[in-house]
Chain A
Amino acid sequence: MTYQEALDRVQELRGHGNAPFSIEQKRLIAQMYPEIMGKPFRRTACQRCYHDAVIEMALKLRKEQKMREKCDYHMRAGFIIRCGDFDGGEIYTNANLTNDVARRYLERFPNKRVMFDRIPEETAETPAQATKEPSKQVVQPSQKKAVKGGSKRKKRK
């Protein structure tokens, strides 16, 4: 969904006023909400939850002036990013986390990977691990023989 499409739909829903939404409209709100807000829509027993969701989406779209960037990272419940020496102490939750922020944060604090429950596969290794691994993995056949020979010589001794 593009920004303009989302804006048009939200404006249309806002025009509905306080009248109850139809089942189709409720389904649309529940579908749009996670895409715009970055968090799941929770239906409560309160009659106003759909109207509140529409207001939230309208405010978010007006403030951001763009659709939320899809993020491939996800932090575990209860964990947020807030370090005085990372992005000036900006608070990041799953709602405003971006791939760029998550990547930079994990490069800087690789030990915090355990606090994420979703990390894209291509970055499954930390930069530190990535620099260590190639020396183990990339071994030429000629080098292998040399290594084997070396070990045999040691055994003979």
Chain B
Amino acid sequence: MANLCESIIAKDIAFSCDELATKGLESDGIIMNRGDIDFAATVFDTGNPNIIKTLVLKTGKRAYEVVQAGNTPFTGTQSALEVGTYRNTFTHTVSFVVLANDPETSRDFIDGLANGTFVAILRNKHKGGNTGDGEYQIYGYSQGLVASEITNDKYSEDTDGGWLVNLQETGSRFSAMFLFNTDAATTEAAYESLKETAQ
């Protein structure tokens, strides 16, 4: 059929006893301003558009670390199908708590979150088998994450009086995107380097 993007499945659905899925996320991730990404320098995997091999920030910019406490970090983070009139897409939600409420946190983080557009990378506990290509999942690269909820409940048991933040990306054509380059060690080095800026 002409003028239709290919939308088919191309893999058996089965599970490998060696690579059983594991639920959950590691307790740390990174978040960056979407405008700081050098999209022209992004390198996608030639065989799989859901994999980004190189994600580089503009000169002098860096990603910021988000560290969560507790046994279920980033609780509420999920991806879901969004049924459209002509085309179905995905909605990705990233949730985290900010266990602080002071002038610096408000100025440097919460106020910015309210109106900015972001990209986050969270580390899945499921690493993706021997290659490790499923660990670093990217949220917001396609459309950007924007705040859908930022709440400060003074008597919340979950946030201890801190902030609960929900960021959402709607209309993404990717069910999931991953950062992966060559092997786990190279990908880890690339991920860590996103947190650096010129000294």
Interface residues of chain A, those whose CB is within 8 Å of chain B, are 34, 39-40, 42, 44-46, 74-80, 82, 91, 93-94, 114-115, 117-118
Contact = CB atoms under 8 A, between A and B. Distances in A.
A39 B196 contact: yes
B164 interface: no
Given A45-B100, A117-B59, 11 more contacts: A44-B65, A76-B56, A77-B57, A77-B193, A78-B56, A78-B57, A79-B56, A82-B189, A93-B189, A94-B196, A115-B56
A117 B181 contact: no
Contact of A77 (B62, B99, B189): B62
A79 B41 CA distance: 10
Nearest to B64: A42
Given A44-B67, A45-B99, A93 B198 contact: no
A82 B193 contact: no
B55 A78 contact: yes
Contact of A82 (B55, B65, B67, B182): B182
A76 B57 CA distance: 7
A82 B186 contact: yes
Contacts of B198: 74, 117-118
A117 B181 CA distance: 22
B54 interface: yes
